[in-house]
Amino acid sequence: QVQLRESGPGLVKPSETLSLACAVSGQSITTDYYWGWIRQSPGKKLEWLGHIFHSGSAYYNPSLESRVSLSVDPAKNQFSLRLKSVTAADTAIYHCVRTDKKWYYYIDVWGAGASVSVS
Amino acid sequence: IVLTQSPGTLSLSPGATAALSCRASQGVSVSNLNWYQQKPGQAPRLLIYGTSTRATGIPDRFSGSGSGTDFTLIIRGLEPEDSALYYCQQYGNSPLFSFGPGTKVEIK
């Protein structure tokens, strides 16, 4: 059973960079899935940040593209998120996710989420 | 693309049928419309993909339909455990993934 677990600081100062990692267990990250990040604001809005393939090909939400970057580390079986120049509006729960892409595109595995406050 | 969900909140009795609407600002392929359920304190989980295919382990009380810009999630025989937020999500338009604001279902 595939499990995802987020890790990283729970508090980030404004203008600094938010960095989170997602450890994948139960499956190799080099399989045919996208690995990505979705955040949920305190108001419960869900926002897709982007996803990455194990080759390093990444797709980002255009609204955040200038500030977000994803990376993948097959040796550690994990992937990471960096969001620079954060503001209070970036306060959210950040979920790492797996996206199935074989016939349909849907998010079928979610991490429990990491709560990040910008203050 | 903007997804709009209605109603915002649905309060129903056990055993009733819930109809949740998801409308898109432009056409969405039936292959690219999914539904998720989120219970308090939990991450969302996949309910329906490709408009009408139930995800693994999802009971047949849940069904999805629709095309173009109008999609519907139906929950029959509501149970207390169905109390949750329900989100529709589209794939393919910019941004690649986007979600509706959610419908809260309350079972009273």
Cα angle A99, B64, A27; round to 5:
20
Tell me, rounded to whole angstroms, the distance of Cα B100 from its chain centroid: 9
Q: Which of A47, A48, A103 lies closest to B96 in CB terms?
A: A48
Identify the pLDDT of residue A102: 85
Interchain proximity B46–A59, CB inside 8 Å: no
Contact criterion met (CB below 8 Å) for A96 and A35: yes
Mean pLDDT of chain B: 96
pLDDT in tens, B61-87: 999 999 999 999 999 999 999 999 999
CB-CB neighbours of B83 under 10 Å: 17
Using the Cβ of B63 and the Cβ atoms of chain A, whether some distance falls under 8 Å is answered with no
What is the rounded average pLDDT of the residues B41-68? 97
pLDDT tens-digit series, residues A37-68: 999 999 999 999 999 999 999 999 999 999 99
Beta bridge partners of residue A68, listed in sequence order = A83
B95, pLDDT greater than 90: no
